[in-house]
Structure 1
């Protein structure tokens, strides 16, 4: 039996919102965000249109890698609350119609995890085999994920008397996921959080998670998926697989029975190349080549994630183009391959261009993923070094500390953005009741997306049109057909929209402003598209009476 034949495929049309509890809202005013604060903002997220909440790591951790250095897979860091607070967040979210997924970070642990502390204490420890050790590092070594920070993937441990492997930071020893006992432990971790009500997992760095002794064991990924579905018929796995499309397909599985969803990293990177060139063709070429998926699988579309904006799937020349356009200073770059800025600052706060990008994301086939603060146009904090620059406290109001916390600024877990993108200029309170705000616009996109099931379920075709700066596509599904146009250039264009498979007199409804037009007898219509303009149209069937 195929896994995708069972369960509720809710992820096909999910609106995902990623947040870090640590920087979202500090309810007890100790300077750090907490689960209780999040619980008090779930109504806001429901109002925004979110249907799936993705919580970044909130587990006990030394905090050397923003919580991805996990010291206990079964707990909540005391700074954020306790398991009772977590269960209350899950219950309240479900009451508001939102699913909850959490990060599954099992490719490594913190060096402070009890497993590693026991492993390094003795070669006879049963936990020794949980990690990867060597008396001498192999001559042929893969590069470290952070080549500008770590010299390699092997570090000598004086107490253990051996080298241990770490694909990431030296304080994050790799788990040997090829070991049966490690897999049994991961199964217990998965089962624990599913029992507490989560609906799935965002699986961190999947290629490293299933890398056992140098060979990627997809049988293990299938086993993990079955384990989740067995425990929860509607459980899912959203995987981080930063690889070209043809390699990503392997991680969905031959029968769609491995990862449920994957982030479209290649499409995301080609989007930024298109923005830098003001030419839609790099994106159009990528999406035209995007593989079709099994019915139970889905692509996750995103503009910005919680780490650096990685560009490693592009050529060096293409990266340099994007650096020149959006990260001209060295401090804005990281690891030689990425950018530590958010979209609004990269686009110099141009509201037309910012809105065009989010309109595009919501109109692409797949499920949209928002990173906290994107809905109001938050930027990074240039005073914070590295990837943490894109994780400032959420800006709720123009009051002290942006309404995040009442403590003195020196006690905040992270400094508030102080420049022109700071709380005085960008915050929820000012935008919530402003009909022309970015917040209201993104909320409208989320609700339009939710009313257009074909975007999640249908098949996309890139439409031919005469302007390189315009990306035009249509999505057809059982529920109807959507056509979208997006202009990557600052000047307007007149677009000859041609739909050759519709009957004469077909009506099209503008999804964003409810304007209705009629195609001529040849299925043609001239569409005016402003500079950085965007239009969504629903093709209405004969006699159809449908709201936008």
Structure 2
């Protein structure tokens, strides 16, 4: 395998599919693998290079598949192994790779390992999990679950607690046990042998816990298990044994991590992971770090975070670029204007992300500018985290129903999990049954069928962005400079290499604004290569750029 083939992901764009909400082929209200197969030509038209599937394994679906009960079996809700093999075969025929989501920080409590360990200290699988004795008849530490409440659950038969950093049905694995690490290698090897091209590793930086298990009197416990003492050792072990053997591309989801850690996780020497997801740029509408608040986003902070990571990772590591995923609200609602300027702001937000260094990820529906659904009742939600937080905010914090629903409408994970809007038929063409989650009401106007008919749609704009990454080398190789870090309205940055300079100008607001190009470019010969308003793709580059609401422009200068 030559270097270009090995590092195909550097100029690639990856499309994330949340199978449950993508396309239902069997009228049961839940998306499935055959539904994905039916839409592969659509994805090929978009131009994506690989498909990342969120978990499709056997699972009780307490946390939408991130609670795996059998790593070697397809969840029958989604189909069977023959369906998956066919998906893999057809996707490869069409030139698209498949990346599977793998969850190895924890398993479902319905997994056979845990079922054997529960209530039985003599089980060979007891040490696959993390067990501690109570302290003063209480949980061993005060660590908090990411989903609310204490992170320990009692096994009454043995009077010991097991650790669950997420739901109580998601028991954390004990990576200190070499047998656990061997099981993980076997699982990943099984799928790699099938021809799976890569793996997205869920909350992978939490696998190593500090072994003294202290109470946290400063926070919720995360400082004792985030980027833990042996995490790099473990990742290098798995990478050497499996990922490097199969040429797998790997992307690690990094919870509450740092730039320095991510430089090592995704180091260009390839010892650990190909690239990393970090979430700091998506906490800019958290009030004092608290997610469950209704808060406007901090624009200057957003630019500062991008600058920190773009400059810090350049030449040292590799980032996954993303706005949306199954855990994040729709970006056009979150940072754009989904009412008056939905199309313009969707295109602008895409541009401001895709012109950076890294590998862009497009989350299903993002390419047509799908919005948050604007649910108005708790009965419309299905997400465990959202329902738990509704109870906490209403009954423990005393917030009003109106306030809590407003917060959920902004922050719930279900905002991005509504079914894909394929057409204007009932349930947006997602299913002929009853969808597991209610479709957003704007589906008659916002759908794939409409987007494909409109040459100025968000879809075709994403198609162009994906193509540009392969055509313009500086997008992959250039350095990064924020040209207006203190500007209250414009996000404007420069990418530069020895051969090219690219300027990406983005107006994040509904008011018009002017921007003067840097003086050294005023006399250079440049051209517009992208813009979200018609009539801009000319070689006539003025020194003073006038931007309309949510307008963006990309200029390219070839060096002599």
Shared fold, TM over 0.5 = yes
Match of 2:221 in 1: none
- Deviation of 1:160 after TM superposition, in Å, equals 4.3
Alignment map for 1:101-140 (pairs within 5 Å): 101-136=99-134, 139-140=140-141
Match of 1:400 in 2: 426
Matched, 1:530 2:548: yes
Match of 2:190 in 1: 192
Match of 1:222 in 2: 236
Match of 1:282 in 2: 301
**Which of residues 517, 533, 548 is equivalent to 2:540?**
517
Match of 1:316 in 2: none
- Deviation of 1:7 after TM superposition, in Å, equals 6.5
Distance 2:436 2:547 in 1: 44
Seen in structure 2, the aligned counterparts of structure 1 residues 518 and 531 have a Cα distance that, compared at 3 Å, is closer
Distance 1:272 1:462 in 2: 23
Q: Is the 8 A contact 2:24 2:431 kept in 1?
A: yes
Q: Is the 8 A contact 2:20 2:31 kept in 1?
A: yes
Unaligned runs of 5+ in 1: 310-339, 520-524, 543-548
Q: Is the 8 A contact 1:279 1:469 kept in 2?
A: no
Greater CA drift, 458-467 or 193-202: 458-467
Match of 1:318 in 2: none
- Deviation of 1:173 after TM superposition, in Å, equals 0.8
Seen in structure 2, the aligned counterparts of structure 1 residues 402 and 160 have a Cα distance that, compared at 3 Å, is farther
Match of 1:546 in 2: none
RMSD between aligned residues: 2.9
Q: Is the 8 A contact 2:304 2:485 kept in 1?
A: no
Matched, 1:54 2:52: yes
Match of 2:259 in 1: 245
TM-score (norm 1): 0.83
Greater CA drift, 207-216 or 487-496: 207-216
Distance 1:443 1:212 in 2: 45
Match of 1:378 in 2: 370
Matched, 1:304 2:324: yes
Q: Is the 8 A contact 1:268 1:301 kept in 2?
A: no
- Deviation of 1:491 after TM superposition, in Å, equals 2.0
- Deviation of 1:254 after TM superposition, in Å, equals 9.1
Q: Is the 8 A contact 1:508 1:537 kept in 2?
A: yes
**Which of residues 347, 358, 363 is equivalent to 2:355?**
363
- Deviation of 1:454 after TM superposition, in Å, equals 2.1
Distance 1:254 1:509 in 2: 32
Q: Is the 8 A contact 2:321 2:361 kept in 1?
A: yes
Aligned to 2:491, the other structure's residue is in SS state strand
Seen in structure 2, the aligned counterparts of structure 1 residues 465 and 72 have a Cα distance that, compared at 3 Å, is closer
Match of 1:325 in 2: none
Residue-by-residue CA offset, 1:75-116 (whole Å, 9 max, x unaligned) = 111121111211221222222222211111011111100010
Distance 2:486 2:117 in 1: 63
**Which of residues 468, 475, 478 is equivalent to 1:448?**
468
Seen in structure 2, the aligned counterparts of structure 1 residues 63 and 305 have a Cα distance that, compared at 3 Å, is same
Seen in structure 2, the aligned counterparts of structure 1 residues 27 and 277 have a Cα distance that, compared at 3 Å, is closer
Residue-by-residue CA offset, 1:188-231 (whole Å, 9 max, x unaligned) = 01101111111211111122223363543110111122233332
TM-score (norm 2): 0.81
Distance 2:173 2:110 in 1: 13
Greater CA drift, 138-147 or 355-364: 138-147
Q: Is the 8 A contact 1:279 1:489 kept in 2?
A: no
Greater CA drift, 174-183 or 533-542: 533-542
**Which of residues 431, 434, 437 is equivalent to 1:414?**
437
Q: Is the 8 A contact 1:278 1:488 kept in 2?
A: no
Distance 1:360 1:242 in 2: 23
Match of 2:279 in 1: 265
